Amino acid sequence: MALVAALTVAFSPSGGLLRAPRATAARAWVACTDASSPALLDEVCLLRGEVSTGYGRGSKKIGVPTANLKASDLASKGTVEMRDRSGGARSGTLEALPRGVYVAWARLRGTVHPAVVNVGLSPTFEEAENPEPIAEAHLLDPIDADFYGEELALLLLGYVRPERKFPGFDELVAAIRADIDTAGRALTEPEYAAFRDDKALLADGAGADEAVTLA
């Protein structure tokens, strides 16, 4: 399992990221030179599903274990829900989310943890890209045991940077460490911290359709 990063978003002539189209679920945008201060998304994204096995790359090669939610599993037996500032909600798909790194809160075994999540295909691993989009969540709190097959809920709140293919392993690891630092700082800010007790995040699967109201 790996938190890795590939480039699938458009750039403006000045080099900044363009706003993702309305048809893409997150409508996330952030200046590429300001990754330390990700903006709160206009629509937050709730993912809920069963943790699946990955490829062992995160813990074995990088030292950053992740919990994986696959697009196909979310579509068949999970939840992908977009929630706007008015409290409205609509169904989405993991494929529709802009690929990249997100700041998030994660709920596992009844406890909420700070997290950083990569949504994408892990393109840095040559000839070993994920066959489908995967949400790879690294929980910033230490977790002692594996949690394959357990329910994981993720609330994606801020977009840090696009997924991209790095020229080498060292560059990939450095970017991941920076993403972890960025997420840890962002989640201490009031606008992000307020979502730690979000009703939809705290609900078990059957109650996950409660509305979220953005500040």
- DSSP 8-state class, residue 196: G
pLDDT by residue (tens digit) across 162-207?
Answer: 987 787 778 888 998 999 999 999 999 999 999 999 999 999 864 4
Residue 113: per-residue pLDDT: 97
Letter for the amino acid at 202? L
Beta strands per DSSP E along the chain: 40-50, 67-70, 79-83, 89-91, 100-108, 111-120, 134-139, 151-162
pLDDT tens, 100-137? 999 999 999 999 999 999 998 875 555 556 678 999 99
pLDDT of 32 higher than 70: no
Q: What is the pTM of this model?
A: 0.78
Determine the average pLDDT of the residues in 59-71.
80
Tell me: pLDDT of 76 over 90.
yes
Q: How confident is the model at residue 144 (pLDDT cuts 50, 70, 90)?
A: confident
pLDDT value of residue 62: 74
pLDDT at site 207: 42
Residue 34, pLDDT score: 46
Amino acid identity, position 77: K
Active site residues: 136
Structural domains for the chain: 40-202 (2.40.30.30)
Asked if residue 80 lies in contact with residue 203, where contact means CB atoms within 8 angstroms, the answer is no
Indicate if the pLDDT at residue 159 is higher than 90.
yes
Per-residue pLDDT at 89: 92
